């Protein structure tokens, strides 16, 4: 598997995943078509799939032009059919998509929106999670609930720790500043932020990250952290209220 990552719009990433054995190529959450078409032309690839995680325009804006140019098949949730341009193939929790030698696992991860998918490539150890999980952050609640998002993040946390997290935005540095505000004593977080700041100073991507990095530095996966709980005054609370409060604080950060 070859994974190509390109920045688009202001802070989005679009991904192309290519299977060398079959020639299949998927674009994941394309906001626009020109960048994808340029990569396809440079590589001599033919686009066969579009995988949409959710319906927002900065994830689907390139669908129709790419479909017209390549004849690719657009995949997404049936409940978002009227919102995802060009949707051909509906998929949902527990489905597999045959993609070369991979069987891509479709995961339902609502919270950022009421209906949101992630695509897990188990052999490549790659998760394309849209706006559910970010580097040291998570998506805003734009239609879903805090409980849904917390449960979705818990599902992702159960994947192999060496899973590469391909999220859809370059938000890591700002997310890290918030993470430091709620867990300033986290040594792993302090070290990661040094690396993130150095990369962004060179205008380099901080995505993908590894799940193990997120588990040790992302406050939205660390509702059980004593330091976070102490700072929030929620030592005896269950995880969901702690997560909900963190999400509220991040919205105001």
Q: Are 29 and 63 in contact (CB under 8 A)?
A: no
Question: Which residue among the candidates 49, 55, 56, 75 is catalytic per the annotation?
Answer: 56
Q: Confirm whether 131 is a catalytic residue.
A: yes
Q: Confirm whether 54 is a catalytic residue.
A: yes
| Of 92, 88, 36, residue with least CA distance to 61 | 36
Q: Confirm whether 11 is a catalytic residue.
A: no
In 91-224, beta strands by DSSP E: 96-99, 102-108, 117-121, 126-130, 133-134, 137-138, 164-167, 209-210
Question: Which residue among the candidates 18, 49, 55, 112 is catalytic per the annotation?
Answer: 112
Q: Confirm whether 49 is a catalytic residue.
A: no
Q: Are 29 and 52 in contact (CB under 8 A)?
A: yes
Question: Which residue among the candidates 18, 55, 59, 75 is catalytic per the annotation?
Answer: 59
Q: Confirm whether 56 is a catalytic residue.
A: yes
Question: Which residue among the candidates 18, 49, 54, 55 is catalytic per the annotation?
Answer: 54
Question: Which residue among the candidates 18, 49, 58, 116 is catalytic per the annotation?
Answer: 58
| Tokens at 136, concatenated | 């040291």
**How buried is 251 (Cβ within 10 angstroms: 0-12 exposed, 13-18 middle, 19+ buried)?**
exposed
Question: Which residue among the candidates 131, 162, 239, 251 is catalytic per the annotation?
Answer: 131
| Tokens at 114, concatenated | 């009421």
Q: Confirm whether 55 is a catalytic residue.
A: no
Angle at 101 between CA 96 and CA 106, to 5 degrees: 20
Active site amino acids: 54, 56, 58-59, 112, 131, 169
């Amino acid at each position: 598997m070859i994974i190509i990552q390109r920045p688009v719009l202001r802070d989005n990433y679009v991904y192309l995943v290519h299977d060398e054995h079959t020639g299949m190529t998927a674009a994941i959450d394309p906001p626009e078509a020109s960048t994808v078409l340029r990569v396809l032309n440079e590589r001599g690839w033919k686009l066969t799939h579009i995988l949409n995680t959710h319906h927002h325009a900065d994830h689907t804006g390139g669908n129709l032009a790419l479909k017209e140019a390549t004849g690719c098949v657009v995949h997404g949730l049936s409940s978002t059919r009227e919102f995802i341009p060009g949707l051909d193939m509906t998929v949902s929790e527990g489905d597999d998509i045959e993609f070369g030698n991979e069987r891509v696992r479709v995961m339902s991860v609502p919270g950022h929106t009421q209906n949101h998918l992630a695509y897990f490539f188990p052999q490549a150890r790659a998760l394309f999670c849209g706006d559910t999980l970010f580097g040291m952050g998570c998506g805003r609640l734009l239609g879903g609930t805090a409980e849904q998002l917390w449960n979705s993040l818990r599902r992702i946390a159960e994947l192999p720790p060496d899973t590469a997290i391909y999220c859809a935005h370059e938000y890591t540095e700002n997310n890290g500043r918030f993470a430091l505000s709620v867990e300033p004593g986290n040594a792993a977080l302090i070290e990661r932020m040094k690396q993130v700041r150095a990369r962004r100073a060179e205008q380099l991507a901080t995505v993908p990250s590894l799940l193990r990095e997120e588990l040790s530095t992302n406050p939205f996966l660390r509702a059980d952290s004593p330091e976070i709980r102490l700072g929030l005054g929620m030592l005896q609370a269950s995880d969901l209220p702690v997560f909900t409060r963190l999400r509220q604080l991040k919205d105001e950060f």
